Amino acid sequence: MYDTIIIGAGMSGLAAGIRLAYYDQRVCVLERHYTIGGLNSFYRLRGRDYDVGLHAVTNFTPKGTKKGPFARLLRQLRFRWEDFTLAPQIGSAIRFPDMELQFNNDIKLLESQIATRFPHEKDRFQQLLRELVDYDDLQQEHFNLSARQVLGQTLRDPLLIEALLCPLMWYGNPCERDMAFGQFCIMFRSIFLEGFARPFRGVRPILRNLVKRFRSLGGELRLRSGVSRIVVRDGRAVGVVLDDGQQIEARRILSSAGYVETMRLCDDISCVETDRAGRLSFVESISILDKQPAELGYDRTIVFFNDSDRFHWQMPQEDLCDVRTGVICSPNNYAYDLSDGQLPDGVIRITALASFDRWTSLSESQYRLAKLHWFDRLAASAVRFMPDYRANVIDTDMFTPSTIRRFTWHDNGAVYGAPEKRLDGTTHLKNVFLCGTDQGFVGIIGSIVSGISIANQHCLKD
Amino acid sequence: MTPAEIRGQVLDILENIAPDEDLDSLQDDVSFREQLEMDSMDFLDIVMELRKRHRIQIPEEDYGQLASMASTVEYLTPLMKDI
């Protein structure tokens, strides 16, 4: 009998596990995959290490910062700032036709860029900064206001509104077209007011730290242990049944599987509202280059591009992907410590919106062809906004919505969870709780904080 | 434990929760919140650390008693006198 069973060994599940194990609970983290990480995992292919999800760790704040999610997670999990080995970004940009806004980890750059490109909006942008809601002040009722509407009341220039929404939607908006104002505030803070960073060795050291800490506190981690069912008796969960039939009892369950996905597991629920699951999924092409991107004249950390004045954020309707907008990420372009040097290979990752239904309806041979075809389409679209790197590619990989679904079990291969966030993590069962992307906090630090806060609110106080 | 010893224990917990804070200049009569960068999660940690280290259960309605060092020591004195 465990005090708490945690479903999923991603960032949020492991963080919750650390909190509970630290306070002497018997905790077991159950993971269906053969490795940890969930949406932020890693793999090895043809002799090279790859990260699954990580472009940038958002919510980065410098050493000594006392406020914000990163400082909070360090205190709560008893880590030192150095343990995350984060190197700050060099600089990023939002690129539209004939318009660029640069930004870095100091909001002053974005302010001055806006003052130059949109002088008429300078003061109103300052007003927008004052209107942002702080993380702890987010209430469910204000959370779901329309970000487009709120922005429209403050700013006048539609192009600036689209340009600001582009990176914020790209890095954490589970809704199509519009964005919840609460989510907008979370993303604005995490990207523009805090910033981007990356560990030299990618996501691995972060996960390694979390698992090491969890185990050293007596926590149990079981891989290849998918939960097939949450057993409910008289309105309470009493345990889980694993894919292999094994039963495990627990006093409570904390699930990072997602809201719809967790409801489907509960054996007291016969009809799951699948239309409440997230729908936005991505393809990503990863190119290994024979030189550093900087040698090709590309020194940006992340570029968010959009090829018209209107930013379209929705599941592709007509095709497998929509390459009008995308994200270009180069893990080389961070200010790594001199003792680390530079990554061995040049890397360019390009992300675009993709349709889960279309990708999963392809036959095996169609799927392979589609990957090749869309790899080229993504690159062709991106090189309109960066130097052409295609002659320097020496190896490639690509993931699609099918890949995301296969390794995370999230409905529709959704990356940012369900559109409707459940800030308090409660469910219809009084001892089953949700953490992870369906809580509103996204990104590596956001997911970790989500696990911490749900563990604190619901699993520690009795 | 004597009130002075209890104060030392609480200080130890604060050091553990907020290692970057300068606790030497902590004023006992001023609330933790005013002097230290502490949020509600950190307050929960004081409660949880007391439970972990000294097996003291503090009901949620009493969390307010832990606002400052003086009130915390006063609240804990009867609970920890036999430890």
DSSP string, A200-228: TTTTHHHHHHHHHHHHHTT-EEESS--EE
Residues above pLDDT 70, as percent of chain A: 100
Position A276 confidence tier, pLDDT thresholds 50, 70, 90: confident
CA distance B18 to chain A (A): 6
Going by DSSP bridges, is the β-strand pair A227-233/A86-88 parallel, antiparallel, or unpaired? Answer: unpaired
Angle at CA A283, nearest 5°, toward A321 and A391?
A: 95
A256-272 pLDDT tens trace: 999 999 999 999 988 88
Nearest residue of chain B to residue A462 (CA atoms): B59
**What pLDDT shows up at residue B8?**
95
Q: Is the pLDDT of residue A439 over 80?
A: no
Q: Which residues of chain A are within 8 Å of residue B39 when distances are taken between CB atoms? A: 72, 136
Q: Which residues of chain B are within 8 Å of residue A73 when distances are taken between CB atoms? A: none
| Cα–Cα distance, B15 to B69 (Å, whole number) | 13
CA distance A224 to chain B (A): 32
Instruction: Name, in order, each residue with C-beta under 8 angstroms of A364's C-beta and a sequence gap of 6 or more.
Output: none
CB contact under 8 A, B41 and A461: no
Nearest residue of chain A to residue B44 (CA atoms): A456
CA distance B9 to chain A (A): 17
CB contact under 8 A, A75 and B51: no
- Provide the number of CB pairs (under 8 Å) joining chain A to chain B: 29
Task: Provide mean pLDDT across the span A382-408.
Answer: 95
Which CATH number is A2-52+202-276+418-459 given? Answer: 3.50.50.60
Q: For position B43, which CATH number holds?
A: 1.10.1200.10
Nearest residue of chain A to residue B46 (CA atoms): A76
CB contact under 8 A, B41 and A72: yes
A178-223 pLDDT tens trace: 999 999 999 999 999 999 999 999 999 999 999 999 999 999 999 9
| Cα–Cα distance, A414 to A410 (Å, whole number) | 6
By three-state DSSP, how is residue B79 classified?
A: helix
CB contact under 8 A, A461 and B60: yes
Q: Which residues of chain A are within 8 Å of residue B60 when distances are taken between CB atoms? A: 461
**What pLDDT shows up at residue A277?**
83
Q: Which residues of chain B are within 8 Å of residue A66 when distances are taken between CB atoms? A: 20, 37
Nearest residue of chain B to residue A455 (CA atoms): B41
CB contact under 8 A, A452 and B17: no
Domain limits at B9? 3-80
Going by DSSP bridges, is the β-strand pair A302-306/A92-96 parallel, antiparallel, or unpaired? Answer: parallel
Task: Provide mean pLDDT across the span A450-454.
Answer: 95
**What pLDDT shows up at residue B18?**
83
**What pLDDT shows up at residue A295?**
97
Closest Cβ–Cβ partner in A24, A66, A452 for B37: A66
Domains of chain A by residue range? 2-52+202-276+418-459, 92-194, 279-408
**Under 8 Å between Cβ of A401 and A356:** yes
Nearest residue of chain B to residue A25 (CA atoms): B52
Q: How many domains does chain B have?
A: 1
Closest Cβ–Cβ partner in A22, A64, A72 for B39: A72
Residues above pLDDT 90, as percent of chain A: 86
Query: Pick from A187, A204, A205: which is nearest to A196 by CA?
Result: A187
A110-130 pLDDT tens trace: 999 999 999 999 999 999 999
By three-state DSSP, how is residue A328 classified?
A: strand
pTM: 0.93
